[in-house]
Structures are given as structure tokens and as C-alpha cells.
Amino acid sequence: MNLTIATTVFAVGKYVSFLQDFLETAEKHFMVDFNVRYYVFTDRPHDVPSVNLTQGRHLSVIQVPGSNRWQAISARRMEIIQTTIERQISREADYIFCLDVDSKFHARWGAESLGRLVAVLHPGYYEQTRDHFPYERRPASMAFIPMDEGDYYYGGAMIGGFVEDVYTLTKVCRNRFEMDAGNSIEAAWQVESHLNRYLLYNKPSKVLSPEYLWQDFKAKTKEVKVIRFSGVIKNYAEVRPNV
């Protein structure tokens, strides 16, 4: 197909060690019938591994600052994606998926996941009712969701859709995050909290099951029989600058 899928990952600090498995498994399973452009954001460009890419697939390395605080790295994610869409991705791709690098693909991820705005059910909360969702509940925060509102709890490790729709999402979430920061507020789950607020009032056109965002420490369940993409087991004290 002639469609091009942009795929962004942040490999900052020691997280660059996850990049090879991410890319190699993506080449086997992710959008294999499409043109794919990987955008790797890292403060260690010389540590980006060499991976054989199939025809129609390209990798761009974009240098970004490091940080001594993992929350700051997470906070800059929306800003960096927004500005990169403006400068580059909008001219190079039709769809975009923003994924976490500390993850691997295990099975086919294809055209069934495409949509205007795509979200994924968080693997830790898809069986819970909304009163158990870890939404930001403080009214002072721009990520605030009242107790009697909410559809699902979405995972922040996967955002997708048309480039222009994801651009709007990143711009709004960035602005709200910065407004909170200006008021010395940090939402309960940082950017993920702002993402859930945005998706509550800007409904995704497609919601993917947790098979598209599983966790390696979790066993398969009767509902999730195929694991397509999963976060790897890791020691946060080793890979994060602060825990």
C-alpha cells in the first residue's frame, strides 16, 4: 500500500538499550504491508543500533536533551511530537503511532488498527469500573475528570491516528500540562492523565483491546488470547534517572 505510517519512540538515557528489540520485532510484526518511518528521539544518537530495515521503511534519529528526572522526559514527549509533526512528519506520513520503546511486538499489528484517532485500553484497568480508574481527581488540575464521568482508562504508551488528529491531541495535552506546571500541579499520572482527559471529551474513533498494550509480567487471560505488543519486564531503578 502507498500509505506511510510514522512511528515515534523515545530512547532517552538508558532506555536506548530497549531500542534494538523494539525495532527488530517491529520489522517482523508492525505494519508489514505499509511504508513505515521510525522517528527515534534520543540523547544518545551514537548508541542507536543498526537494524536491517525492509524496503519502504526508514529510520530518522532526532537528538533531544536528557534529564535527571524521568517525569520531565515524559512531560516533554507531547511537545517534541507536536513540533516534529509540524517540521517533518506532516509532510512524510499519513498516520502516526506514538509508542513506548521499552516494549516488543509479538504478533501481527496491521491495518485493523488504523483510524482517525486511536486509543488502547490500559491492561491494568480494562476489567475495572470507572470509580477505580486512576484519573486525576483534583479540580485544580487541567487533567481533572469528575467521579461520575469517564468511559475507559486508556494507556499512555500508545497513541495513534491521522497525523493531523494526533497533532491536535499533542498540542492540547502539552498546553494543559504546561498550565498545570505553571500552577505547580503535576497530574496523578503526568501525561497519561492529560491524555485520558482529552480522550473523554474528544472520543477516539477506534479503541484497541489490551492485546495491543500488554505487560510481560501479566499472564494471558480469557479475554486476551493474542498478545501483539507488550511492555518488557525491567528494573526501574536501573533505567530511570530517578524513581
CATH of the domain at 150: 3.90.550.10
Q: Give the β-pairing of 95-99 and 57-63.
A: unpaired
Q: Tens digit of pLDDT for each residue in 135-146? A: 999 999 999 999
Q: Tens digit of pLDDT for each residue in 104-119? A: 999 999 999 999 999 9
pLDDT of 218 strictly over 90? no
Amino acid 231: pLDDT: 95
What mean pLDDT comes out for the span 198-202? 98
DSSP 17: G
Amino acid 234: pLDDT: 63
**Nine cell digits for residue 144:** 481533572
pLDDT of 235 strictly over 60? no
Work out the pLDDT band at 243, boundaries 50, 70, 90.
very low
Amino acid 71: pLDDT: 67
Domains of the chain: total: 1
136 counts as catalytic: no
**Nine cell digits for residue 195:** 491524555
Alpha carbon of residue 167 to chain centroid: 13
What mean pLDDT comes out for the span 215-220? 85
Quick one: which H or E segment has residue 238? helix 236-239
* Residue of 192, 211, 223, 238 marked active site: 192
φ, ψ of residue 124 to 5 degrees: the values are -90, -10
Reference 169, options 177, 185, 152; nearest CA is: 177
Reference 177, options 138, 149, 134, 141; nearest CA is: 141
| Residue 171 near residue 202, CB atoms below 8 Å | no
Average pLDDT over the chain reads: 93
pLDDT of 82 strictly over 90? yes
Domain that holds residue 97: 4-239
| Residue 118 near residue 206, CB atoms below 8 Å | yes
Amino acid 236: pLDDT: 57
Query: CA 237, 67, 103, 212: dihedral to nearest 10 degrees?
Result: 120
pLDDT of 57 strictly over 90? yes
Which one has a higher pLDDT value, 242 or 160? 160
Amino acid 35: pLDDT: 98
Half-sphere exposure (Cβ direction) of 43: Cα atoms closer than 13 Å: 9
Q: Give the β-pairing of 103-105 and 57-63.
A: unpaired
Match 536528557 to its residue by C-alpha cell.
Answer: 66
Q: Tens digit of pLDDT for each residue in 181-198? A: 999 999 999 999 999 999
